[in-house]
Amino acid sequence: MRFIYSMLVLFAFFSLSFSLPVGGENVVAGTPVSLGTQSPGTAGAWGGNITQVNLTINSSTLHWQGFYGSVAASLRLASGSEGSVSTLKVWNVSNVSGQIYVSTSSNVDFTTINSSTATLANVDSAFTFLSGANDAAVNTGTNSASPAFNIGQYIVYANTRPFVTTLNSSGSPVWRQVIVRDANTTTATDFVFVGLLNSSGVAYNGAAAHFQVIVPENSAGDAAVTTYYFYGEIQ
Amino acid sequence: MLILSFLFGSGFCTTLILNSQDYSDIISAAAYAKYNNYSYVFALTPNQSVFLSRYYTLDADEPIVYLEGDKPILANMKALLQSSPVKNLNAYSPPNIQFWIADQLSSDQAILVGKQYGQDALSVSSYAALTGSPIFYLDQYGDSDALISGIISRGYSKVILYGPISEQLSPAQLNLIPQRQIIDTGNRYSNNLEITRMFLQKQPSEQVMFVSGHAFEKSMVDLKFPLLLAGRSDIPVQLNNFVSQNSIKTGIVFSGDGDIVDGVNRLKGQNPQMSFFVKFGEGYRGTTQPLPLVIISLPSPQISLEVVNLTYNVPAKLFELRIKNTGDFAAVSAGASISGVGSAQSSQIIMDSGSTTTLSIPLDASAAIDSGKIPSVDVTISYGEDTALMDNIDSITFTEVQTSFYEDTSEVNLTGVTYSSSEKSFIVTFEGQGWVSGTLGFNINNRPVVLRIPITNVDGTTQVKIKHLLSSDEESFIRGIAANYFVRSGQKEDILINEIRGQRQIEVIRVASSPSQTNSILGLDSIYIFAIAILIIGAILVFKFFAGDGGDSFA
């Protein structure tokens, strides 16, 4: 794919007589935006002249999947019917705090989640399709840059874990997430992507949300599918 | 088996797709998948089945094992999968999934549960997955002979009989089952703790999953974390102790399994050092928001009581609350409170489905009687599907409560408890005239045993046979045991007034199945003669005691 993009750029530099497809907006990794829906840009050309075109090529990532949502809606534990509903927890929007945990592990071990630090390179090794890619984990976040927070009874100290931000609809990197792991078996199920909740957040598409996280997912071709599991902490 | 071995070696993660409406298939397949480290999915609706058929076949190289029960969710799911690009598809439609799974496993141990008790199947599922043991389901309306025959033919060296299934098996069937290990403590919570202890012995963990037993989600079955049953509004005392003793630090609950809302909160309140997490959704490629967990309901008893009336018995100084059980088996107790007079609580009784009885609540409310009636009485009824945890509570205020002058003249005494090996039953003997019901609890070899005594008319010497399974080890242990019992008795079937409760020695002896046995009563074993003598003397002393000063009774 990079080869194709490079060729396109070169072609643009030396082309004299026809319009070029110019991408519109920067694409947030993980958001399912298709370039095919955007209007092509144009550049005028006159014979005998060479016109430089600054070309931006954007691509949908095939290696990350984005999720967003509302905690108050998602964490409601309810039973019963016909107006008789028992509820475990409904957080008022103004009181939303804590984290959302996303993992390919069907049962995260929260008792060991603080025992082993991870690096972005570890993520690339475990999710092999990330290794060497432009959108590899090492190009997505920053090691040892996490804020301090608690997971259950454990304190995750500041600047000890990989930290990733994603954008809201204004393009601001307001969504914060930290990568931890509950084991060190070098497999994908070790990793837990922790989204820090935001009580007044706006997701990439302008929707109100309490969390937004991106997780590795290989969407290239007929790659095997992955199921992610979502957890919240009852506080 | 060969095909599955091939899949193991392929280097891909195998996905087991189940297409069945039967909850027992769903749980058994979950345990089987977990044991083999397969990914596991099942659907609840045809649309979900179509989604699974397409989603999990995107990778042509991914191995798929497809299992179809005799009542599938989507009839043509197999055809859908076969038309997909998947190259490693192995589809099976066995006549009986539990037997098919048993044949894939090489365990020398099996687990037998009652099919009508969904919480029991769930309770054993993680242990079954951890040990690779197949789960068999004894259907109360099915062919139990065929099931027992199928189990025996597979040559297991040990079979765990879990939960209250003894009523469904004949002594002859039981005798065919080799090396029985019985986990039937009288309530589902302590049964669950027993199997959890076995799990933790093999796989220590400081994290557990709390479930209601009324719902199932596929990740409730796990090789690392056992699951514990929690009550709807409360938790059993033994569960709280278990959590402390085993240093459990973290609990997982499941969105959609909301029956344990208050129970978990109570547990959290009593164990502030614990952290609780809720698993609330799944995320799939192409969806930007998590989807709800796939939860199925498990068969469980329906609890429904109908209050008929409340009267006050003046000479007996007690309230008589007449209630009808319109649901399944239920444990019930009630309390009455009058402002300025006081409050009191009845003992706990067991009610079979459809039965009507009267709970007696001893309270001297003479001072509250006005013109032959009591103006207002607050009654609290506690009930549940289990004697260990009556976590449903209803409060009713009765006004203008009528008074009565019925006087109980019955006299019923408990005179003996024996165990018959041949009938796999305890035989409880009463003497006197009247009616009796209640429970009788004691320990055998550190295993609690609770006998439910149905409402019985006692006329002279009356024996009540209560079916109960004991292992051979337990049978040899049942002498000289301490008892914790209460028995309610009265003159009429629907008015059980006298109560005997407390802790007294109960001598349980074994009735010989064969005169030739050395430990047979008929063989005149000196120990048994001595035991019988002690029993008779003890019974006389005990019942003279109750007849004399009432002991702990409310009579």
CB-based contact A107 B225, cutoff 8 Å: yes
Give the mean model confidence (pLDDT) for residues A48-70.
67
Q: Is A34 on the interface with B (CB under 8 A)?
A: no
Q: Within this chain, do residues A80 and A140 fall inside the same structural domain, yes or no?
A: yes
Who has greater pLDDT, A160 or B294? A160
CA distance B9 to B18: 22
Q: Within this chain, do residues A189 and A75 fall inside the same structural domain, yes or no?
A: yes
Q: Within this chain, do residues A109 and A193 fall inside the same structural domain, yes or no?
A: yes
pLDDT at residue number B512: 58
Q: Which of B110-124, B248-262, B292-306 has the highest mean pLDDT?
A: B110-124
Mean pLDDT is lowest, of A19-28, B106-115, B445-454, for A19-28
User: Does residue B314 register a pLDDT over 70?
Assistant: yes
Structural domain including A72 reads 64-232
pLDDT at residue number B530: 45
Q: Are A197 and A164 in contact (CB under 8 A)?
A: no
Q: Within this chain, do residues A84 and A40 fall inside the same structural domain, yes or no?
A: no
Q: Which residues pair with B447 in a beta bridge?
A: B444
Percent of the residues in chain A that have a pLDDT greater than 70, as a whole number: 61
Number of domains in chain A: 2
| B294's tokens | 């796939």
Domain with CATH 3.40.50 in chain B: 1-106
Q: Within this chain, do residues A55 and A93 fall inside the same structural domain, yes or no?
A: no
Give the mean model confidence (pLDDT) for residues B209-217.
92
Q: Within this chain, do residues A146 and A200 fall inside the same structural domain, yes or no?
A: yes
Q: Is A233 on the interface with B (CB under 8 A)?
A: yes
* Number of CB atoms found within 10 A of residue A93's CB: 12
| B376's tokens | 């207002």
Q: Is A115 on the interface with B (CB under 8 A)?
A: no
For residue A151, the chain B residue with the least C-alpha distance is B275
DSSP track, A174-218: -EEEEEEES--SSSGGGEEEEEEP-TTEE-TTS-EESEEEEEE--
What is the CATH T-level fold of the domain B411-549, as seen in this structure?
A: Immunoglobulin-like (2.60.40)
CA distance A20 to A16: 10
Percent of the residues in chain B that have a pLDDT greater than 70, as a whole number: 87
Mean pLDDT is lowest, of B127-136, B150-159, B160-169, B487-496, for B487-496
Mutate to test the interface with B, among A103, A107, A235 (most CBs of B within 10 A): A107
User: How confident is residue A222, by pLDDT bands cut at 50, 70 and 90?
Assistant: low
User: Does residue A233 register a pLDDT over 50?
Assistant: yes
User: Does residue B94 register a pLDDT over 70?
Assistant: yes
CB-based contact A234 B279, cutoff 8 Å: no
Q: Is A213 on the interface with B (CB under 8 A)?
A: no
Which residue reads 């690779």 in tokens? B132
Who has greater pLDDT, B65 or A97? B65
Q: Within this chain, do residues A93 and A172 fall inside the same structural domain, yes or no?
A: yes
Give the mean model confidence (pLDDT) for residues B45-60.
88
Per residue in B515-530, pLDDT (tens digit) is 433 333 333 344 444 4
CA distance B406 to B488: 17
Matching CATH number, B1-106, of 3.40.50, 2.60.40, 3.30.2010, 3.40.190: 3.40.50
When CB atoms are compared, the residue of A222, A226, A230 closest to B60 is A222
Q: Are A211 and A224 in contact (CB under 8 A)?
A: no
Domain with CATH 2.60.40.2550 in chain B: 305-404
Q: Within this chain, do residues A44 and A109 fall inside the same structural domain, yes or no?
A: no
| Range A111-148 burial, b when 16+ CB lie within 10 A, else e | bbbbeebbbbebbbebbebbeebebbbbebbebebbee
Give the mean model confidence (pLDDT) for residues B160-173.
85
Q: Within this chain, do residues A89 and A50 fall inside the same structural domain, yes or no?
A: no
Q: Name the domain boundary from A34, A60, A86.
A: A60
CB-based contact B279 A102, cutoff 8 Å: no
User: How confident is residue B287, by pLDDT bands cut at 50, 70 and 90?
Assistant: confident
Q: Name the domain boundary from A60, A81, A110.
A: A60
Q: Which of A77-91, B258-272, B537-551 has the highest mean pLDDT?
A: B258-272
pLDDT at residue number B335: 92
Query: Which CATH architecture does the domain made up of B305-404 adopt?
Result: Sandwich (2.60)
Per residue in A170-206, pLDDT (tens digit) is 999 999 999 999 999 889 999 999 999 888 899 999 9
Q: Within this chain, do residues A106 and A130 fall inside the same structural domain, yes or no?
A: yes
Chain A with chain B: Cβ pairs closer than 8 A: 144
Which residue reads 């003669």 in tokens? B529
Q: Are B81 and B89 in contact (CB under 8 A)?
A: yes
The pTM of the full predicted model, rounded to 2 decimals, is 0.76
Per residue in B364-391, pLDDT (tens digit) is 999 999 999 999 999 999 888 777 777 7
Q: Within this chain, do residues A84 and A196 fall inside the same structural domain, yes or no?
A: yes
Half-sphere exposure of A30 (CA within 13 A, CB side): 26
Mean pLDDT is lowest, of B171-175, B401-405, B409-413, B544-548, for B544-548
Q: Is B424 exposed, middle or buried (0-12, 13-18, 19+ CB in 10 A)?
A: buried
Per residue in B422-475, pLDDT (tens digit) is 888 889 999 998 888 877 877 777 777 778 888 888 999 999 998 888 877 788
Q: Is A101 on the interface with B (CB under 8 A)?
A: yes
CB-based contact B255 A106, cutoff 8 Å: no
CB-based contact B62 A229, cutoff 8 Å: no
CA distance B207 to B221: 14
Q: How far is A79 from chain B (nearest CA, A)?
A: 5
CB-based contact B283 A230, cutoff 8 Å: yes
Which pairing describes strands B250-254 and B207-211: parallel, antiparallel, or unpaired? parallel
Q: Is A79 on the interface with B (CB under 8 A)?
A: yes
Q: Chain A residues with CB inside 8 Å of B273's CB?
A: 153
Q: Name the domain boundary from A60, A88, A108.
A: A60
Closest of B114, B169, B142, B116 to residue B302, by C-alpha: B116
| B304's tokens | 């429904």
User: How confident is residue A96, by pLDDT bands cut at 50, 70 and 90?
Assistant: low
Q: Within this chain, do residues A200 and A133 fall inside the same structural domain, yes or no?
A: yes
Q: Chain A residues with CB inside 8 Å of B55's CB?
A: 225
Per residue in A120-145, pLDDT (tens digit) is 999 999 999 999 988 999 999 999 99
Per residue in A60-93, pLDDT (tens digit) is 677 898 998 887 543 343 333 333 434 444 444 3
DSSP track, B117-139: -HHHHHHHHHHHHHHT--EEEE-
CB-based contact A87 B258, cutoff 8 Å: yes
Q: Which residues pair with B450 in a beta bridge?
A: B441
Name B146's Cβ contacts closer than 8 Å, sequence gap at least 6.
none
Dihedral over alpha carbons B491, B496, B497, B500 (to 10 degrees) = 110
